[in-house]
Amino acid sequence: MDPRKGDALPALGEISGAIVTGSHAMVTERLDWSEASAAWMAQFVEHEVPLLGICYGHQLLAHAMGGEAGYNPRGMEIGTREIQLLGVNDALLGGLPQTFSAQTVHQQSALRLPPDAVLLAASERDPYHAFRIGTAAWGVQFHPEFGAAAMRAYVRHLAPLVVKQGDDAEALEQSVRETPVAAAVLARFAEIVRRTTDARVRQIATFS
């Protein structure tokens, strides 16, 4: 669904979990559909329904829960980057290698995490690359859904901005590679949704 086009956001009782993906919009624009989405995301945290925010969704989750999103003072992060895992015991990211590659493309970042958020991953250019808030809501700045072809296309498209901030666009494009560890985060999240749903079904059956 696309809330930018007026699609209604589903009630939490109608879904088992959700993924909020990237956007060309900026969280700091405070667009009506974005702010409505932020309020919707906060309900997931309150009711412990699994939620995964990716890139824009990561920043929006931080904003929704009392953190801050804005332009990264270190500049745009783009290309295949090395991510350092900090949350080794986390339900979503725990068990991944201590350092893994991931696709990134963003000008804004989570600049301040929400109160009680748990920092899970960082990169050289972004110290808040992943976090958990509550028991079942995660934000990841990297793109687990991107393959190398999509990443190269973004590097080519944004080459003028890459060069403007002093980076080598050609070298950046050549360094792009597949990121299977980061991609596995999607299947891991789907498994969390499945387990959470099964547990709720058993709980309902117990009390019915």
What is the full per-residue pLDDT of the chain (208 aa) written as tens digits? 888 878 789 898 899 999 999 898 999 999 999 999 999 999 999 999 999 999 999 999 999 999 999 999 999 999 999 999 999 999 999 999 999 999 999 999 999 999 999 999 999 999 999 999 999 999 999 999 999 999 999 999 999 999 999 999 999 999 999 999 999 999 999 999 999 887 776 665 555 4
Q: Exactly one of 58, 63, 129, 143 is catalytic; which is it? A: 143
Q: Is 151 helix (H, G, I), strand (E, B) or coil?
A: helix
- 83 found inside a domain: yes
Does 145 participate in catalysis according to the annotation? yes
Does 143 participate in catalysis according to the annotation? yes
Which helix (H) or strand (E) segment holds residue 122: the answer is: strand 118-122
**Based on the structure, what is the number of domains in the chain?**
1
Q: Is 145 helix (H, G, I), strand (E, B) or coil?
A: coil
- 194 found inside a domain: no
Q: Exactly one of 46, 55, 58, 63 is catalytic; which is it? A: 55
Provide the 8-state DSSP code for 26. -
Instruction: Tell me if 59 sits within 8 A of 27, measured CB to CB.
Output: yes
Q: Exactly one of 35, 48, 68, 145 is catalytic; which is it? A: 145
CATH code at position 67: 3.40.50.880
CA dist 40 and 49 (Å) reads 11
- With CA atoms as reference, report the closest residue to 79 among 150, 185, 184: 150
Dmax (CA) of the chain: 63
Domain of residue 111, residue span: 3-186
- 196 found inside a domain: no
CA dist 33 and 9 (Å) reads 10
- 13 found inside a domain: yes
